Amino acid sequence: MLKQMIALTALMVSSIAFAQDREYVIVVHGGAGAMAGLEEDPVKSAQYYAALDSALMIGDKVLSAGGEGPEAVMAVINYFEGNPLFNAGIGATCTAEGTFELDASIMEGKDLSAGAVAGLKHVKHPINAAYAVKTKSPHVMLSGAGAEEFAKEQGLEMVEDNMYFATPKTMEWIEKLKQESKKNGTVGCVVLDKQGNLTAGTSTGGMFKKRWGRIGDSPVIGAGTYADNNSCAVSCTGHGEYFIRHAVAFDVCARYKYLKESVEKAADYIIHTELNTNAGNGGLIAVDKLGNIAMPYNSGGMFRGFLYKEKGSPEIKKGCGIGKKIVVVGEK
């Protein structure tokens, strides 16, 4: 239950761009898109704020206890994949055939190790399969039937019926597939842990009515997900074809590393200049090696949230947003 929602000042929003000495940081997204009127709808927006806040608190629990980035990213994305509000796991958007094909990826900045899966139909938590590819296989990306066989061998939870991922809402779309409708809500999480390591993860059902085994940016390392301890951890959401063409996640890290831009400047440039609302609708979340955060989007909105703790302070600072406003959800 939400007991309190406080709109923060612009000062607080800009202050997240200049980290002093951050013990740990977590940033999440739940997808970018049009989202007309959602921020103004008190009932619907409260559901999203609460879900984003729950995700942040799940990450906080892991990181505050000294847990490492991948554990936090997996815990957060497992939560999102189980929440029908988002386009990942249960609640994923459907293909033109009215089925579900899920993609996910995870990357660690300390050694550039990465794992990705594409076109999964029966793995309950695609992010766990991506992590298994990273840690238990010599490969970076597995797709389709082979990826599922691997996941099964690894003992991951499988669902027999692909319709497990359906919700009453997606069932409506499947019934009227001719009708244009979309679902935003790819999920992502980037973390700077207490050990100083960066991790990024992303999970999605992809784009509505996708065809022919289409794979978007989310499982593509360098496009939808990237992490490098020398620069940043990045997770993207939006029109995947453009994010692949512009290698968006890697480009943020490259601008930071080679041009010495701040994470905020690098991320803003890519989202607002390199991409634009007509060609490359979407956004990203990023945290750099010092704990600075960026969360730009060029779409109508982006579900997003951040949480961090300064060294030597017992308090955590956090906020969530859908459109321009950032709110804090908390107990009285």
- Does residue 319 interact with ligand ASP by CB under 6 A? no
Ranges within 240-279 binding ligand ASP (CB under 6 A): 240
DSSP-derived pairing of the beta strands 187-192 and 232-238: unpaired
Closer residue to ligand ASP (CB): 57 or 234: 234
Closer residue to ligand ASP (CB): 142 or 316: 142
What are the tokens at 151? Answer: 């996941």
Which residue in the set 78, 105, 203, 218 belongs to the binding site for ligand ASP (CB under 6 A)?
A: 218
Minimum Å gap between C-beta 237 and ligand ASP is: 4
Part of the chain binding ligand ASP (CB under 6 A), chosen from 47-55, 68-76, 120-128, 210-218: 210-218
Say if residue 321 carries a ligand binding annotation.
no
- Does residue 130 interact with ligand ASP by CB under 6 A? no
Say if residue 255 carries a ligand binding annotation.
no
Part of the chain binding ligand ASP (CB under 6 A), chosen from 126-134, 146-154, 200-208, 306-314: 200-208
Pairwise CA distance, residues 98 & 89, whole Å: 15
- Does residue 280 interact with ligand ASP by CB under 6 A? no
Which residue in the set 63, 74, 207, 221 belongs to the binding site for ligand ASP (CB under 6 A)?
A: 207
Closer residue to ligand ASP (CB): 59 or 185: 185
Q: How many residues bind ligand ASP (CB under 6 A)?
A: 13
Which residue in the set 128, 184, 235, 292 belongs to the binding site for ligand ASP (CB under 6 A)?
A: 184
Q: Give residue for tokens 């360098």.
A: 222
Pairwise CA distance, residues 285 & 102, whole Å: 21
Which residue in the set 45, 203, 204, 231 belongs to the binding site for ligand ASP (CB under 6 A)?
A: 204
What are the tokens at 307? Answer: 């949480």
Ranges within 15-34 binding ligand ASP (CB under 6 A): 31
- Does residue 89 interact with ligand ASP by CB under 6 A? no
Catalytic residue flag (residue 273) = no
Part of the chain binding ligand ASP (CB under 6 A), chosen from 8-16, 140-148, 232-240, 313-321: 232-240
- Does residue 126 interact with ligand ASP by CB under 6 A? no
- Which parts of this chain interact with ligand ASP (CB under 6 A)? 31, 184, 186, 204, 206-207, 216-218, 224, 237-238, 240
- As annotated, the binding site for substrate includes 214-217, 237-240
Could you give the residue numbers annotated as active site?
186
